[in-house]
Amino acid sequence: MEKLNANVAIQVLPSVLEDEEIVRIVDAVIDYIKSTGVEYYVGPCETSMEGDYEELMEIVKQCQYIAIEAGAPSVMSYVKITYKPEGEKLTIERKTAKHHQHDLAKSMKNKTA
C-alpha cells in the first residue's frame, strides 16, 4: 500500500509574458505530475498532490526542470506542504468532495440535456 504522509500544493509561475505560453508550460508540468501516478487535483491556481513525502518532494523538484525544458527562461514556484508521519491524514477527497458535489450534479444534468 502506498505511504500517505504528506499533502503538497504547488503553483508554478513561468517567467513568460504571453498567457498562451504560461498555460502551455504549466500544462507540461501538470502532465508530468499526472505521469507520476500520485493522487492529484488541479485547481485554478495550484495543483495539490498527496502521497509519500519523499516522493512528493522529488516531484516538486522535477516540476522546476520540466518548466525550464518546456521553454521558461526561469520559474518561480510556491509550495505548501503538510507532513504528518503518523496518524490519520486528510486526503484531497476528504477536503474537497463536499465542495464539488454541485459540480457533479451540474455535469450530470448537462449530460442528460
Residue 60's H or E segment, with its range, is helix 53-69
In the sheet where 39-42 sits, what is the strand order?
39-42, 47-51, 6-14, 75-83
In sequence order, what are the beta bridge partners of 39?
Answer: 50
Asked if residue 103 is part of any domain, the answer here is yes
Q: What is the CATH number of the domain that holds 73?
A: 3.30.70.930
| Conformation bin of residue 65: beta by default, left when phi > 0, alpha when psi is -120 to 50 | alpha
**Within-domain flag for 97:** yes
- Residue 8 grid cell: 503538497
Q: pTM of the entire structure?
A: 0.82
Task: Select from 30, 36, 35, 39 the least CA-distant residue to 11.
Answer: 30
Judge whether 33 lies within some domain: yes
Q: Which domain holds residue 75?
A: 6-112
pLDDT in tens for each of the 113 residues of the chain? 468 899 999 999 999 999 999 999 999 999 999 999 999 999 999 999 999 999 999 999 999 999 999 999 999 999 999 999 887 777 888 888 888 776 656 665 666 55
Count of structural domains, the chain: 1
In a domain, 1, yes or no: no
